[in-house]
Amino acid sequence: MNTQTRLVQVRTKILKQNDVLAREMRQRFARDGVTVVSLVSSPGAGKTALLEVLLGRMREEFRVAALVGDLATDNDAVRLARAEVPTKQITTGTVCHLEADMVAEALEDWNTNELDFLFIENVGNLVCPATWDLGEQLRLVLFSVTEGEDKPLKYPTIFNTADVAVITKSDLADAVEFDADAANRSLQSVRPGIETLQVSAKTGEGIEALLQRLRGLRDGGEVLAKRWGQNDGAE
């Protein structure tokens, strides 16, 4: 039987629940004076190694802490704890990305107003994390010189959601004949205007420049609200 149908207009974001929570957290972080920076990358690009270095350096200047998303183990949190700052593992089970409610739950027993910086290390994945706003102020996307200059072209969406691209393992650049210009062209093609930094957690190259960028956030007050469409009327 063929019934006549009609359309009832509704305009709602499918991830409304996540987006509302992310916005509330962003407001809370601003109130608490904590700068929240997330890291996304493929598995093995060096998120944890970079964070170890950053946390170790920053703890002399700031009150820093980190949340680490992982499917199964707490190995990364154990590594980060060596930097002697508060860390907590978010074990996602089979979920391939972090969502705002996982971050909110992990922070339940933390006083974020006692922090200056909070880092959120997402699950190693260049696909799924792109869709979820975590309430962060700045998103870093990492890729290592060993992954190839065209990584941004292969995963344009996640690069498009990031604010700063960090090219890691620069100490291996010569060995793998990494072409920095080609990498930059790829980045600028998928995300025109994105800032790019090249670092080595091993030798310390570029770390000071990244620290400088992070320190700048304390007075910059940049917010990602526009990216996540929080002003376009769809609720």
Give the whole-angstrom CA distance, residue 230 versus residue 226: 6
Q: Report whether 128 contacts 29 (CB < 8 A).
A: no
The footprint of another protein on residues 194-213 (CB under 8 A) is 194
Would strands 117-121 and 64-70 be described as parallel, antiparallel, or unpaired?
parallel
Q: Report whether 119 contacts 55 (CB < 8 A).
A: yes
Among 160, 171, 180, 184, binds another protein (CB under 8 A): 160
Q: Report whether 206 contacts 197 (CB < 8 A).
A: yes
The footprint of another protein on residues 76-115 (CB under 8 A) is 95-97, 99
Stretch that binds another protein, among 50-58, 60-68, 126-134, 200-208 (CB under 8 A): 126-134
Look up residue 201 and give its DSSP letter: T
For residue 227, CA distances in Å to 56, 112, 145, 162 come to: 31, 24, 28, 10
Stretch that binds another protein, among 20-28, 57-65, 156-164, 213-221 (CB under 8 A): 156-164
Taking CB under 8 A as the rule, which mask of x and - marks residues 9-48 in contact with another protein? xxxxxxxxxx------------------------------
Residue 158 touches another protein, criterion: CB under 8 A: yes
Query: Where do contacts with another protein occur on this chain (CB under 8 A)?
Result: 3-18, 95-97, 99, 127-128, 130-131, 153, 156-158, 160-161, 188-194, 229, 234
